[in-house]
Structure 1
Amino acid sequence: MKAINKKAKAVFEKMTEGMTTVCSHKRIDNAGGVYMAAIVECINECDWGLIFSIAHYYEQCGDLVSDPEMTFLQGKDGNVYPLSFQQAGLGIYQESVLFGGDGNPDKINVRLQKDHAVFAGQWLVNIKEQQGL
């Protein structure tokens, strides 16, 4: 799997700092409403590490809509790997890593997973700049 770049990894680590258990979460909103808050959640754990969701949300007709949401594996090897991308308002949902019955990564769409890593590299740096991290 392709890991996110070093700059993005540093931002990811700052955003997930102190989040070591499933169900831990935080809202990062340092921009005074100028930019969308970043919502960070530890959503699962597998043999390879912790799985996190990072998202921006907006409200539409009373529902929260991701804009976008990505999931990441914080690997025990020290790297961070994108797993999925969702842009709900546009009907986009992409899983680049599928999990098997044992709860661990099983199938990888190498090209899509690489695309997710490239996008995450820029997106996380943008969040850093927007939120003053």
Structure 2
Amino acid sequence: MLLKRGALLNVMLCLKGEGSYQVEAGDSALGNITRLENLADKIPQYWKEEERKLESLQKQCEAAKAQAERPFAEEEKLSELLKEQVSLNLALEFAEGEDGETPGNQKTDRDCNYSIYRKLHKLAQELFDGTYTYMKFKQDGYDDLVLEKIGEDEYSIAHYYVQEGDLMRDPEITFMLEDADRFIHLLSFTQDNMGIYYTTDERTEEQIEDLRQFFDQWLTNIKNQGFTLYQAHGEYGEYTRDEEAGGQSGEPTEEQEDEEFFG
């Protein structure tokens, strides 16, 4: 048995064994003995109550484990609905955001970044939702345009042509895309025919802003030039345009319109 002070500085009589049980002490020695006897008589009842609580918690834990391991029957449907919701939200934003845009307008850093984000999603939504990891676009009179996933949330966009057997990038920009913040982090710029390559950590904020303005205008040019999806592949899908059915590049068939990026 122990004596200890309670929270209100009152004296508590404690019985301590495998558990700890206590009752407030009184002024009478005989009364304290009676209190201890009553406390001891109630210990088996306390044990039963604690065992009941423990058994209930164990059952809840087992039920939770079983529920967590059970496959979600509507997982694929939910995933498709979420993708559709994202596409619809972006479509609304694109429709609202591009009205009145002209090539000569200078945007703020924030506006320019968001403009790039919107245009990239409209250009290659299937790349950013994970359907494809590689997408090639074509248009007569222009170098092929390729977008690829090159790392975790890292992507590249480039015009390609062949010169003396070498594949030339004219130009290429690599970037990270954060959907949560709708933000584009520019990583590098390459222009092979001029021997230019640099990473943005080597550049000033002003130079990075110039590159961001260039990227935004480049995406506007891509839209205006009428590039259409020619070939794509990835873990969850594959696409190749049927030239015989579709005629010339940039003139998709009705069946292919859903696969094109600027229908």
TM-score norm. by structure 1 comes to 0.75
Equivalent position of 2:133 in the other structure: 24
Query: Which runs of structure 1 show a deviation greater than 4 angstroms over 4 or more consecutive aligned residues?
Result: none
Q: What is the CA RMSD across the aligned residues, in angstroms?
A: 2.2
Q: State which of 175, 189, 205 in structure 2 corresponds to 1:110.
A: 205
Aligned match of 1:70 in 170, 173, 184? 173
Pair 1:77–1:5, CA change in 2 (3 A): closer
- Equivalent of 1:80, from 172, 184, 187? 184
Long gaps (5+) in structure 2: 1-108, 228-261
Deviation per residue, 1:69-98 (Å, 9 max, x gap): 001111141122322111111000021047
The question of whether the paired residues in 1 share the 8 Å contact of 2:144 and 2:159 is answered with yes
When structure 1 is superposed on structure 2, of 54-63 and 11-20 the one drifting more is: 11-20
| Higher share in strand | 1
Question: 3-state DSSP class of the match of 2:188?
Answer: strand
Match in the other structure for 2:123: 15
Q: 2:141 aligns with which of 25, 34, 54?
A: 34
Q: Contact 1:15/1:40 (CA < 8 Å) preserved in 2?
A: no
**Alignment: residue pair count:** 116
Of the candidates 92, 105, 108, which is equivalent to residue 196 of structure 2? 92
Deviations 1:6-39, CA, capped at 9 Å, x for gaps: 4432221123312245x8111011x2x2222210
Aligned partner of residue 120 in structure 2, secondary structure: helix
SS in 1 for 2:224: helix
Aligned partners of 2:204 and 2:225: how far apart in 1? 31
TM-score by length of 2: 0.40
**Rg larger for:** 2
Q: Quick one: distance in 1 between partners of 2:162 and 2:205?
A: 33
Name whichever structure is richer in helix by fraction: 2
Gaps of 5+ in 1: 99-107
Query: Distance in 2 between the 1:109 and 1:51 partners?
Result: 21
Alpha-carbon separation, structure 2, partners of 1:123 and 1:39: 13
1:124 is displaced (CA, Å) by 0.8
